[in-house]
């Protein structure tokens, strides 16, 4: 009734896009037969396009986060083809123009919907069209500065592009006085500063004591499901080339060397806080850097102090030694109990989740 009433008011030349939940991923959710019936009714009522949605906020299965494979649910959209004649839009974890092009080439959908990737890089499509896809700042699906901000009533932004939605407050303007700058530390902060400083007209030399850029991003990218973090480092590698930043790796810069620069920007990262706990110096006590960066051996019984992001990342790293399913759609669906046949209500497999059990006994502790 709603679609029909809207069509009557706007006329035949107005595009109406209807968002259709294709896969509820909750118990007692809708069946595929019900979805088809609704889609056909929506077409008859006068909709122009159907946008196929996946999941509910109440679902326990991730649908848009980093561990979800790219284009993980386009097969669901494809199953609706032939049941309706309207163009179908597919969505969820499509963050790359080549992935979108592949989806269209396979015939999974007629259109592709992307939102968060344009926060990461508003020039995504123009870069791809002009043969500069390697310059795209790819959305990593972290949700930390977009959805997390929205849900607490703040202005949305982007973890890999903090200027998103703040462009007027943080404009990149030509420098009044161009300087020769030294940036110490090639982690995310140092990289972002270096690229933007060159864009303003400064000359920048970027120093890092390690053999590769990225800082602690090189630790985060190892966590199962965070393989997208490689894309951010790929982007900065390319932008260093494009902008002409002078990069000096394996270089511990001295105060004397910094005297040659007009200004020095310190972006040397953080040092893990060591809590004042009796026995903290015991040889069996490791920091997350000991485990993730230095590959210190870890036993089968583990206590992790701290239940923040780093604590959970460390637990994921220790509990899932096998291949991550974030690169494997079939493996992801099997692991999370998604019924690929769409025969079950809500799209949930009767076998349930098949997440491998950890080879270690891990206890997480928090104050």
3-state DSSP of 157-212: CCCCCCCCCCCCCCCCCCCCCCCEEEEECCCHHHHHHHHHHHHCCCEEEEECCCCC
Q: How many CA atoms lie within 13 A of 58 on its CB side?
A: 6
pLDDT in tens, the chain (367 residues): 999 999 999 999 999 999 999 999 999 999 999 999 999 999 999 999 999 999 988 899 999 999 999 999 999 999 999 999 999 999 999 999 999 999 999 999 999 999 999 999 999 999 999 999 999 999 999 999 999 999 999 999 999 999 999 999 999 999 999 999 999 999 999 999 999 999 999 999 999 999 999 999 999 999 999 999 999 999 999 999 999 999 999 999 999 999 999 999 999 988 888 889 999 999 999 999 999 999 999 999 999 999 999 999 999 999 987 788 998 999 999 999 999 999 999 999 998 998 888 999 999 999 8
Region of 240 (left: φ > 0; alpha: ψ -120 to 50; beta: rest) is: alpha
What is the C-alpha to C-alpha distance for residues 9 and 5, in angstroms, rounded to an integer?
Answer: 6
Return the closest-CA partner of residue 46 out of 18, 81, 22, 21. 18
pLDDT at 367: 83
Q: State the DSSP code for 17.
A: E
Q: Which domains can be identified in the chain, with CATH numbers?
A: 173-270 (3.40.50.720)
Distance CA 74, CA 355 (A): 22
Q: Is the pTM of this model over 0.85?
A: yes
Give start and end residues of each alpha helix (H) in the chain: 2-10, 32-45, 74-80, 97-106, 116-120, 124-129, 147-151, 188-199, 217-220, 229-243, 255-258, 288-292, 309-319, 329-335
């Amino acid at each position: 009734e709603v679609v029909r009433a809207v069509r009557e008011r706007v006329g035949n030349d107005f595009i109406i896009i209807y968002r259709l939940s294709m896969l509820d991923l909750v118990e007692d959710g809708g069946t595929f037969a019900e979805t088809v019936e609704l889609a056909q009714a929506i077409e008859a009522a006068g909709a122009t396009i159907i946008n196929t949605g996946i999941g509910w906020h109440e679902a326990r299965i991730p649908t848009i986060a980093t561990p979800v494979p790219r284009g993980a649910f386009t097969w669901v959209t494809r199953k609706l083809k032939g049941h309706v004649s309207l163009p179908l839009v597919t969505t969820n974890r499509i963050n790359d123009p080549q992935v979108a092009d592949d989806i269209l080439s396979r015939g999974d959908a007629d259109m592709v919907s992307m939102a968060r990737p344009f926060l990461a890089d508003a020039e995504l499509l123009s870069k791809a069209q002009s043969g500069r896809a390697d310059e795209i700042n790819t959305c990593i699906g972290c949700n930390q500065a977009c959805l997390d901000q929205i849900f607490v009533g703040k202005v949305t932004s982007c973890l890999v592009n903090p200027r998103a939605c703040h462009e007027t407050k943080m404009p990149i303007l030509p420098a009044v006085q161009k300087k020769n700058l030294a940036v110490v530390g090639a982690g995310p902060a140092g990289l972002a500063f270096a690229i933007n400083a060159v864009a303003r007209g400064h000359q920048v030399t970027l120093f890092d004591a390690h053999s590769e850029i990225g800082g602690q991003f090189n630790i985060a990218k190892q966590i199962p499901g965070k393989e997208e973090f490689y894309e951010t480092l790929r982007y900065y590698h390319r932008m260093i080339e494009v902008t002409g930043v002078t990069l000096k790796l394996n270089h511990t810069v001295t105060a004397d060397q910094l005297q040659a620069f007009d200004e020095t920007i310190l972006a040397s990262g953080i040092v893990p806080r060591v809590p004042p706990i009796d026995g903290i110096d015991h040889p069996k006590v490791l920091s997350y850097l000991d485990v993730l960066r230095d590959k210190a051996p870890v036993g089968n019984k583990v206590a992790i102090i701290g239940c923040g992001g780093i604590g959970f990342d460390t637990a994921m790293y220790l509990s899932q030694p096998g291949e991550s399913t974030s690169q494997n759609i079939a493996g992801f669906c099997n692991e999370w109990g998604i019924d690929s046949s769409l025969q079950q209500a809500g799209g949930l497999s009767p076998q349930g989740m098949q997440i491998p059990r950890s080879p270690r006994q891990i206890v997480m502790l928090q104050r």
